[in-house]
Amino acid sequence: MNFNITNSPLNEIKADLELVIVIDKNLKHPTVKDRKLLKKANFSGAQNEVCHLVEKNRLYVGADNLKGAAIRPAVASAIRSLIGKKSYKHIKVATYVSHPRCSASIRAMAEGFVLGAYTFTEYKSQKSKCPVKTVEISLEGYEPHEISMETAARAVHNGEIVASATNYTRNIVNTPPDDFYPESMEKKAKKLAKELGLGCKVLDIKALEKEKMNALLAVGRASRHEPKVIHLSYKPKNPKKVISLVGKGLTYDSGGLSLKPGDYMVTMKADKSGASAVIGMMKAIAELGLDIEVHGFLGMVENMIGGDAYKPDDVLKAKNGKTIEVRNTDAEGRLVLADVLCYAQQEVKADYLFDFATLTGACVVGVGHYTSGVMGHCEELKNMVRQQAKIAGEMVTPLDFNDYLKKTLKSDIADICNISNTRYGGAITAGLFLSEFIDEDHKEKWAHVDIAGPAFVEHVWGENPSGASGAGVRMMVRLMESLSRDNTH
């Protein structure tokens, strides 16, 4: 999809279709030229409501306001409605900004176009794709706010990069487990590193053994696909901050010997969403050329059953020397992350350390499908994640640690147990488990983000399709953009 920005008025631009966004159900606004037809179609202009007037070559969609959080899903909903309709290759649209010189809504609009056009048709014999090739954005605005060509172009460019990186992540998550396993991520990481000039280091079985990542190795022991830990690095000159990103990459999770029920195994290809988000973040950061040093660590493992599977009652020794009593082999993601977090802290002394994982069903129970939970010891850092998520159009809520839940991880035979002794508070106890593998230097610099809810949802929601959403990419890129503008060290 190509974006062109022009000073030409909309009525001078030739296109197959005009997209009109109706703000706050205001059908009397001058941009709404087909009030009678819209009334006949019972179109009210509600958020994400779409009405395609074929004979007028206009596509209307509703948005509650001019903020990015409303514009992004509205545009995505409109574009999604064109998938499979081959006649519409060239679209024109006005700019929608909330106040002078503000480009956030323009960026959100560009993101909406790219995110809404996404389809995953790799395995379909008949592929239905979005036909739109070119989007003409006129600086003729919904409101008479002035915005420069340069500002608009930069907003569109950045939005296109971040949305494309989100779609890149979606593709990885959506790929079935027989076609995507640890070695697949290794190949993808090496290809990305070559294209963008990133550093790429891959730890194989021997290297993992040397690094004493015994918890991670135990999880992958019964799979025919050997585990990998991948370290991608982006190092500009004189960076303002150093960031480490850690992702859980369970390419498939059967639950191990604590076997999941059959219907719970469906969609477990999505258990690699954390690592997939991290590689998507690395792609966007490099393409944006941010003035921060970023390291991405991907823990790629497949959790299967077999004669060599790790077992409940096993005691594992993690990289930092702590022993872990295994009470449930389906609590495997935290074992992988424990070792990868230790490795990340060993390799990089970061200003901030974030990990991302589809870690617990408890988080979905607690906050729903559409919201991620953020945990850690630093309130300021959790608030930073939440604030940038809101700007990016993602939903995050803090889940606070407490000493009472920490006690439920106590083991009588090891330093810690991999599950708590209570069925309640499972998202927080998983986060508390991970905190045992954060050293003192990083304790106030670390945040854990559980993306189990929004990472993979089996219906369309907002700007997200059915299936993988690319959760985490947009909010973390926004956060790192803000850090790259920070003049403090």
pLDDT higher than threshold 70 for residue 488: no
pLDDT in tens, 54-77: 999 999 999 999 999 999 999 999
Average pLDDT over residues 306-325: 98
Instruction: Single out the catalytic residue among 334, 382, 474, 478.
Output: 334
Q: Are 372 and 436 in contact (CB under 8 A)?
A: no
Tokens 């991670």 belong to residue = 216
Which SS3 state, helix, strand or coil, does residue 480 take? Answer: helix
Task: Please count the CA atoms within 13 angstroms of the CA of 325 that sit on its side-chain side.
Answer: 15
Rounded to an integer, what distance in angstroms lies between the CA atom of residue 415 and that of residue 162? 42
Average pLDDT over residues 274-289: 98
Which SS3 state, helix, strand or coil, does residue 76 take? Answer: helix
Instruction: Compute the mean pLDDT over every residue in the chain, rounded to the nearest whole number.
Output: 96
Residue 324: per-residue pLDDT = 98
What number of residues does the chain have?
A: 489
pLDDT in tens, 74-112: 999 999 999 999 889 999 999 998 776 678 899 999 999
pLDDT higher than threshold 70 for residue 409: yes
* Confidence tier at 141 by pLDDT (50, 70, 90): confident
Residue 59: per-residue pLDDT = 97
pLDDT higher than threshold 90 for residue 386: yes
Which SS3 state, helix, strand or coil, does residue 24 take? Answer: coil
Q: Class assignment of domain 166-484? A: alpha beta
Architecture of the domain defined by 2-142: 3-Layer(aba) Sandwich (3.40)
* Confidence tier at 489 by pLDDT (50, 70, 90): very low
Domain boundaries, the chain: 2-142, 166-484
- Say what angle helices 182-196 and 273-288 make with each other, to 10 degrees: 0
Residues 6+ apart with CB under 8 A from 332: 219, 250, 253, 256, 301, 303
Residue 133: per-residue pLDDT = 95
* Confidence tier at 148 by pLDDT (50, 70, 90): confident
Residue 313: per-residue pLDDT = 98
Instruction: Single out the catalytic residue among 85, 201, 260, 327.
Output: 260
Determine whether 334 is an active site residue: yes
Rounded to an integer, what distance in angstroms lies between the CA atom of residue 364 and that of residue 427? 9
Determine whether 133 is an active site residue: no
How far from chain centre, in Å, is Cα 486?
A: 23
Q: How many C-beta neighbours within 10 Å does residue 45 have?
A: 22
DSSP code string of 225-262:
SPPEEEEEEE--SS-S-EEEEEEEEEEEE--TTSPPPH
Residue 47: per-residue pLDDT = 98
Q: CA distances (Å), 269 to each of 114, 174, 363, in order? A: 24, 7, 18
Which SS3 state, helix, strand or coil, does residue 85 take? Answer: coil
Angle of CA points 232, 234, 240, to nearest 5°: 135
pLDDT higher than threshold 60 for residue 487: no
Average pLDDT over residues 445-455: 98
